[in-house]
Amino acid sequence: MPGCVSTYMPNVPNVPMFTQKGELSAAGHITPKGNITFNTAYAVTDHFGVILNGSMLSSERRKRDFTHNLLEAGGGYFTTFGPNKNRILELYAGYGAGSSDRTEKDEHEDGTMHYKRMEANFSKYFVQANFTSKKKKSLKVFKHEFPLNYGTTLRASYVNMHDYKINNEPAKEEDNIFIEPIFYTRLTLNPSVQLQYTSGTTFGLKNRDDLTAAYSVFSLGFVINVGGKAK
């Protein structure tokens, strides 16, 4: 497998930071490789929320074309704690499905091009824990202070290939378990809108050829929360 590539690209975890019933969260993130993630969530009760996530990538380059799509849904528990109730713990689990289409392009010495196309569908089961804490630190810009929130997500995902083909011929299907420790920082622009920077890495627990932990999570995006307590 040339270069650092995989048939699976992780999305940005959904971290709605819920505090009470009726709260709604929506977010959009983009990675340096062009993978766009959309996250939405709703607090059904004071401790139970549902999440819906989607991501997409369409990239055409000289040596590689890559298209990747993922849609997932889940639900889980959230609570606030600490002296000022400014710490948030969220536990979610869910299921997703997606597809991947990757074409490797290799130019031979005689100028001819050799193509290797890898197409796959896949299913995904995931569990994640989010911990967010509001710090007393703020970023001061032109006499305006922007509060900062810091958090950590630990996500475990089981991904299983279906209908895997290489150059339109059936190929050996793979599965893998990915462990993703992810860190995020949120800059509060106003009570409802936050700018989020996300960084993290991915570990694959199984040694695979094409379904590998080749991509880390680095992204920049916006998160909108309405209906909750001040964070």
Instruction: Give the start-to-end residue ranges of the domains of the chain.
Output: 24-226
CB 213 within 8 A of CB 181: no
What does the pLDDT look like over 119-135, one tens digit per residue? 999 999 999 999 998 66
CB 70 within 8 A of CB 77: no
Q: Where are the beta strands (DSSP E) in 17-108?
A: 24-30, 36-43, 48-60, 64-81, 87-107
What average pLDDT values come out for the chain (231 residues) when binned by 10 residues?
Answer: 71 94 96 95 97 96 92 97 86 97 85 88 98 73 78 97 94 96 92 93 94 92 83 49
CB 11 within 8 A of CB 57: no
What does the pLDDT look like over 146-186, one tens digit per residue? 788 899 999 999 999 999 999 999 999 999 999 999 999 99
| DSSP-based helix, strand, coil % in the chain, nearest 5 | 0, 70, 30
Q: 24-226 has which fold? A: Lipocalin (2.40.128)
